[in-house]
């Protein structure tokens, strides 16, 4: 009979809708082989590490990132979301155990009027009304997890908590890579600013010489105007670099959770970076699958898969074991006169039969299934984007490496020309104007070299970002 009641109390499950499928790992072997001379099958397990920025061997950048990881407000908020998600998971686990509750003695309590019909069935009480009052100080409830609903709820909550942890790792990665890029650019901008100011002095000296030659009748106005244009150009460059360094310091301070004044204390004069940032001989293919954004999408999809199961259990009878103990009286007049109130207790099963729901359960199931499909397709998109970003980051890194090598040769040539011109000037063979021209050309080449070096280092940061920054997902 009990089995018959359970079967009769089941709502009819609708036909399953389309279920999205996660993608297999995209192929990137040939792309890596093109970058690493056919050595991508080798695995470098320690690259990158979780503290990847230490690979740059810059104490000031290490200090800034360490402070930011402890002070950044957005990162603190992300950490609080982790605690919140695990609290929700702990709440879901509470359904595994019986619940006990107790009410106050007087409030809230069932209180009302009971009207009995005039029937011989009720004897002398028929056609009378009674003012009843019940006191139920103890109530217990235990949910029998017949269909795996509680287990699915717990697993869904744990999945969302794991997703929150991956979101924290993602926020941490974005913060550290942004700070590294901004600091690298700050060092480069400060170096370029110093070079540009040296260029200002050279152009001012050159302008003075050309003006003197104009007054002596040796030159006309054409070279004077030309030098004046170059002076305005370098003045604009100095102004632009001064503004850029100020903005970069303010941004770094904000990201580190500090005031703008703190940004003035950032050291750049003594900062050094490697001229070349070498990649490892190979990259492990599973690094990409461990990126925090991929982990976030995967955990969310798994959590929503369990949520679909929770929704399906609503189509089956729900059984709770309920017990309560209290007191009850039907004579309000003797409520406070007779302390020995009749004992009231109830113990037994409580059924919830989803028989007539007007399509509500079917709609909720479709919503849950489509949310799962959306999460899976989001995971697929994130996975494809991750592999694309790795391929793009490798391409950018190689390009910046080539550009840096080319600019180094150009700067060396400009330096050799300036040194040769200085020797010729000392020997009286060359003019001061020619010497200053070549020295200014060297300054311009050094500014470009500083920019190319920063681009190369930022490309390395971009590759760390594309590879997930050493994040290890908890499976």
Q: How far apart are CA 47 and CA 281, in angstroms?
A: 10
pLDDT in tens, 262-298: 999 999 876 678 777 766 655 555 566 678 999 999 9
**Cβ–Cβ under 8 Å, residues 296 and 168:** no
| Beta partners for residue 320, in sequence order | 143, 350
pLDDT at 38: 42
Of residues 470 and 191, more confidently modeled:
191
Helices (H), 9-103: 29-36, 59-71, 73-93
Determine phi and psi for 274, rounding to 5 degrees: -65, 140
* Residue position matching structure tokens 């970069």: 248
Beta carbons of 200 and 180 less than 8 angstroms apart: no
Q: Do residues 112 and 51 both lie within one domain?
A: no
| Residue 104, pLDDT above cutoff 50 | no
Residues 240 and 334 in one domain: no
Mean pLDDT (whole number) for 197-211: 92
- If asked whether residues 191 and 292 sit together in one domain, one would say yes
Place of tokens 């001064």: 242
d(CA 223, CA 219): 7
Give the pLDDT confidence score for residue 175 in this predicted structure: 96
What the block records as the tokens of 404 is 């840096």
Query: What percentage of the chain has pLDDT greater than the value 90?
Result: 44
Q: Is residue 473 part of a domain?
A: no
Residues 312 and 322 in one domain: no
339 or 390, which is more confident: 390
Other C-beta atoms within 10 Å of 40: how many?
20
Do 310 and 325 belong to one domain?
no
Mean pLDDT of 132-160: 80
Cβ pair 452, 401 in contact under 8 A: no
Q: Is residue 71 part of a domain?
A: yes
| Residue 383 is assigned to a structural domain of this protein | yes
Q: List Cβ neighbours of 427 (8 Å cut-off, separation of 6 or more).
A: none
Whole-number pLDDT of residue 107: 42
Name the domain boundary from 329, 352, 375: 352
CB 350 within 8 A of CB 143: no
Q: Is the pLDDT of residue 35 over 60?
A: no
- Tokens 């109830």, residue? 346
pLDDT in tens, 206-220: 988 888 887 877 777
Residues 23 and 53 placed together within one structural domain of the fold: yes
Q: Is residue 187 part of a domain?
A: yes
Same domain, 422 and 390: yes
Q: How are beta strands 343-352 and 99-101 bridged, if at all?
A: unpaired
Q: How many domains are contained in the chain?
A: 2
Provide the mean pLDDT of the chain: 81
Q: Are residues 220 and 159 located together in one domain of the fold?
A: yes
| Boundary-marking domain end, from 330, 352, 374 | 352
Q: Which residue has the tokens 């070299």?
A: 449
Full DSSP string of 213-270: HHHTTSS-HHHHHHHHHHHHHHHHHHHHHHHHHHHHHHHHHHHTT--HHHHTT---TT
pLDDT classification of 172: cutoffs 50, 70, 90: very high
Tell me the CA end-to-end span of the chain in Å, nearest whole number.
44
- Mean pLDDT lowest among 51-55, 59-63, 249-253, 330-334: 330-334
d(CA 292, CA 386): 10
Is 209 in the same domain as 343? no
Residue 322: CB partners within 8 Å, gap ≥ 6?
A: 139, 140, 141, 346, 347, 348, 349, 350
**Range 92-110 average pLDDT:** 63
309, part of any domain:
yes
Q: Is 177 within 8 Å of 255 (Cβ atoms)?
A: no
Helix (H, G, I), strand (E, B) or coil at 106: coil
Rounded CA separation 328/302 (Å) = 49
Same domain, 309 and 324: no
Q: Can you give the CATH number for the domain in which 249 is found?
A: 1.20.1600.10
Other Cβ atoms less than 10 A from the Cβ of 349: the count is 10
Residues 134 and 189 in one domain: no
Same domain (yes/no): 322, 366: no
What pLDDT is attached to residue 27?
A: 56
> What single string gives the DSSP state of each residue in 293-356?
HHHHHHHHHHHHHHHHHHHHHTTS-EEEEEEEEEEEES-GGGTTT---PPEEEEEEEEEE----
Q: pLDDT, tens digit, for every residue of 295-346?
A: 999 999 999 999 999 988 888 888 888 887 766 665 555 555 555 556 667 7
Q: Please tell me the distance from the alpha carbon of residue 199 to that of residue 375, in angstroms, as a whole number.
A: 56
Helix (H, G, I), strand (E, B) or coil at 409: helix
Is residue 275 domain-resident? yes
Rounded to whole angstroms, the Cα distance separating 21 from 24 reads 9
Per the structure, the complete domain to which residue 277 belongs is given by 12-98+147-316+359-466
User: Would you tell me how many other CB atoms lie within 10 Å of the CB of residue 103?
Assistant: 14
Looking at residue 137, its pLDDT comes to 63
Domain presence at residue 472: no
Confidence band, pLDDT 50/70/90 cuts, at residue 4: low
Q: Say how far apart CA 399 and CA 324 lie, in whole Å.
A: 75
pLDDT of residue 297: 92
Residue 68 lies in a domain: yes
Q: Which residues contact 80 (CB under 8 A, 6 or more apart)?
A: none
What number is the average pLDDT over the span 186-196? 95
Please write down the long-range contacts of 262-271, taking CB distance under 8 Å and 24 or more positions apart. 266/60, 266/64, 266/183, 266/186, 267/60, 268/60, 268/186, 268/187, 268/190, 269/190, 270/60, 271/58, 271/60, 271/61, 271/187
Strand pairing class (111-115; 129-144): antiparallel
Tokens matching residue 239: 């102004």
pLDDT in tens, 437-461: 999 999 999 999 999 999 999 999 9
DSSP code per residue over 172-195: HHHHHHHHHHHHHHHHHHHHHHHH
* 43-57, 201-215, 240-254, 453-467: segment of lowest average pLDDT: 43-57
**pLDDT-based confidence at 179, cuts 50/70/90?**
very high
Average pLDDT over every residue of 128-149: 70
The predicted structure's pLDDT at residue 313: 86
């Amino acid at each position: 009979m009990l089995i018959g009641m359970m079967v009769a109390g089941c709502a009819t499950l609708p036909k399953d809708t389309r279920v999205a499928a996660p993608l297999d790992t995209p192929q990137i072997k040939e792309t890596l082989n093109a970058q690493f001379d056919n050595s991508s099958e080798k695995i470098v397990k320690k690259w990158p590490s979780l503290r990847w920025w230490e690979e740059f061997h810059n104490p000031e950048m290490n200090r800034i990132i360490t402070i930011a990881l402890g002070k950044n407000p957005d990162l603190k908020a992300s950490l609080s979301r982790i605690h919140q998600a695990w609290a929700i998971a702990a709440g879901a686990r509470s359904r595994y155990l019986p619940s006990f509750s107790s009410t106050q003695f007087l409030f809230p309590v069932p209180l009302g009027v009971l009207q009995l019909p005039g029937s011989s069935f009720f004897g002398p009480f028929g056609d009378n009304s009674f003012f009843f009052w019940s006191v139920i100080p103890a109530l217990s409830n235990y949910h029998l997890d017949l269909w795996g609903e509680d287990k699915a709820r717990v697993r869904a909550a744990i999945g969302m908590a794991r997703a929150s942890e991956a979101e924290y790792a993602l926020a941490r990665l974005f913060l550290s890579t942004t700070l590294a890029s901004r600091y690298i650019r700050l060092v480069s901008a400060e170096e370029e600013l110093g070079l540009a100011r040296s260029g200002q002095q050279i152009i001012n000296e050159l302008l003075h010489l050309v003006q003197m030659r104009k007054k002596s009748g040796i030159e006309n106005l054409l070279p004077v105007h030309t030098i004046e244009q170059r002076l305005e150009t370098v003045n604009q460059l100095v102004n632009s670099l001064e503004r850029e360094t100020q903005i970069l310091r303010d941004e770094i301070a904000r990201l580190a959770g500090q005031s703008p004044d703190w940004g003035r204390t950032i050291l750049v004069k003594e900062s050094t970076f490697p001229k070349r940032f070498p990649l490892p001989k190979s990259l492990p293919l599973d690094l990409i699958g461990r990126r925090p954004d991929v982990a976030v999408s995967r955990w969310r999809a798994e959590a929503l898969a369990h949520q679909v199961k929770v929704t399906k259990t609503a189509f089956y009878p729900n059984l709770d074991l309920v017990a309560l103990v209290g007191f009850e009286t039907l004579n309000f007049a003797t409520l406070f006169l007779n302390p020995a109130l009749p004992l009231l207790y109830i113990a037994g099963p409580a059924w919830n039969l989803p028989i007539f729901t007007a399509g509500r359960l079917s709609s909720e199931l479709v919503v849950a299934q489509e949310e799962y499909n959306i999460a899976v397709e989001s995971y697929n998109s994130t996975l494809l984007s991750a592999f694309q970003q790795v391929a793009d980051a490798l391409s950018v890194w190689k390009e910046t490496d080539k550009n840096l090598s080319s600019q180094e040769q150009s700067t060396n040539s400009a330096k050799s020309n300036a040194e040769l011109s200085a020797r010729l000037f000392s020997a009286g063979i060359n003019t001061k104007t020619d010497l200053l021209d070549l020295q200014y050309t060297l300054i311009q080449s050094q500014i470009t070299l500083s920019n190319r070096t920063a681009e190369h280092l930022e490309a390395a940061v971009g590759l760390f970002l594309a590879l997930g920054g050493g994040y290890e997902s908890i499976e």
